[in-house]
A and B are shown apart, each in its own frame.
Chain A
């Protein structure tokens, strides 16, 4: 093994930033999964509530939550893609 290769391996070993990035990416993946699950649940709830009264406060609240979760998922995916690009 050349010295250059050895040094780069040592660099990898000591460089915490890549490990941190991978950890962050894994965490984001979990968050996305969790949010997707919540989104699916909300969708069901919204449908059943809307059947009773489309303009009820409950539907309004659920819609807001659905919107927030959708935005968070979108942003989480964007962050994850950025991390994957940096890693590669």
Chain B
């Protein structure tokens, strides 16, 4: 109730403040335009890079220094640490990246965000930036009409840069005019009290604006126009760094456990860095004075000195915290642990992953493997076999001949409780994620959906097979027992081969595809062999016509499962799409 009254009142007061104060209006409009620019840059890079950013972040993060470097470069180029964070969280969720690498990228990304300060203090203040903003906006909008996504993306990047430049120009103009009537520098505070007060200002401003880059842009423009004192500006920059952790933590509240873990890492990093910067602020200021001339920064160019200070204290933070990454990761792994998954619940399909095609594809693939494992359990048990035995070193013959007792498994019940819901979740999630993917991605999702359907059909096939298998295993007809054991051996061989394929990451795709092809060829030969044998058993009156019809149907179910297993293996474990397509030749 109170919130319902206070919010509109605050909004009205803010509106009145803006309307009645011309300078504040210009500055706040500048901030708003700057934020729109950041938003366009982020969405533009998503479209423009066409997955390149994701590829870079995935491939060049194997060691901590590489992860830090990649995090720095990626953030510096796209000018958005939140975009990099979103990708990293999605990679973590899809298990495309480990937590150590992700923490490294977050650290690097923190240094990357300091490039905004360089952009504003160099380009933004030294040249008449608004002159470049307008052509950028014009060409950016023209490019939006293109049918190519990369064109559109590039257009959005141009619009983003245009708005950022325009926003800086407005802020600068606002502060310059403000100076004529009100000089904020008169309120400068000295000593540690001033430092603390301005740190709080910087942090609060960042929490309100939800962007440390925007806060930095305000600080730099205010500093360049002489509205704030240099040492107070340094404190504001430290405050902005601390404030951004609140933004990250708030954002992570709605995120999954990986997002929360990264937010904690970010929080720890920024607090430690903040403390170092506060304690050594005067020493850091002196260090900036030493380094600045080496970079041809004039003694009175406080805006660029502030940018340098921002970079230095973040680099020091990374140097101080990096040696402890592994301890930090160990601690993070104890946080937000998942409770036991409910039956039929997906493991990998999270919303954080959906918008990043590479992660979404991997999540769907892994969930389909999860579905395969659940279904395999049902299939194996329905055939009165144990997975432990199948995947042991025992001969296939022994595994089958020694497993004669009937398993009490209701395939229908397992299907309803463990499999059906998982399958539905995969289909639902896949369809939603397809809207974020290009043609290749869509084709891959389609293939994975077909694979999930194949897996479901295998379970249905085995349900049919189980009835007769159980009936004839307990019969007195040795020939029927023998024939059904042949069918079981056929499947055990394939289960085993697939297990070997999926465990051997080093085996190249052509080798796996050749293996699958050979198994299909042999399966085809064996099917003919078994059918001929059935004809012989009928002719020799070893089995009656009812037995024969059951057996013939079950040969059909067995080889249907076998083909689907091999097709499933090729889609789930052969890495190259080109090779999967070559294997399609062997569809019966």
By a beta-carbon cutoff of 8 Å, the part of chain A in contact with chain B is: 10-11, 14-16, 20, 24, 27-28, 31, 34-35, 38, 61, 64-65, 67-69, 71-72, 74-76, 79
State A1–B578 Cα separation when bound (angstroms). Answer: 39
CB closest residue in chain A, given B581: A79
**Chain B interface, >50% SS class:** helix
Query: How many of chain B's residues have a CB under 8 angstroms from any CB in A?
Result: 23
Interface residues of B in 107-149 (CB under 8 A from A): 146, 148
CB closest residue in chain A, given B522: A64
Q: Which of A14, A64, A68 contacts B154 (CB 8 A)?
A: A14
- A64-B522, A68-B514 given; A31·B582 CB < 8 A: yes
CB of B410 closer than 8 Å to a CB of A: no
Q: Which 6 A-B pairs have the closest CB atoms?
A: A68-B517, A14-B150, A72-B582, A64-B521, A64-B518, A14-B151
A65 touches B514 (CB 8 A): yes
In the complex, what residues of A have CB within 8 A of residue B522's CB?
A: 64
CB closest residue in chain A, given B577: A24
Q: Which of B440, B579, B584, B586 contacts A68 (CB 8 A)?
A: B586
Q: How far is the CB of A73 from chain B (nearest CB, A)?
A: 9
A72 touches B517 (CB 8 A): yes
In the complex, what residues of B have CB within 8 A of residue A65's CB?
A: 514, 518
In the complex, what residues of A have CB within 8 A of residue B440's CB?
A: 20
Could you list 7 A-B pairs, sorted by A, with CB under 8 Å?
A: A16-B150, A61-B518, A64-B521, A68-B514, A72-B514, A75-B582, A79-B581
State A38–B515 Cα separation when bound (angstroms). Answer: 13
State A10–B142 Cα separation when bound (angstroms). Answer: 13
| Seed contacts A35-B510, A68-B518, A72-B517; 9 additional CB < 8 Å A-B pairs | A11-B148, A31-B576, A38-B510, A68-B521, A71-B585, A71-B586, A72-B513, A72-B582, A72-B585
CB closest residue in chain B, given A27: B578
Q: How far is the CB of A6 from chain B (nearest CB, A)?
A: 13
Q: How far is the CB of A83 from chain B (nearest CB, A)?
A: 10
In the complex, what residues of A have CB within 8 A of residue B513's CB?
A: 72
CB of B583 closer than 8 Å to a CB of A: yes
A16 touches B50 (CB 8 A): yes
Q: Which of A11, A24, A64, A69 contacts B578 (CB 8 A)?
A: A24
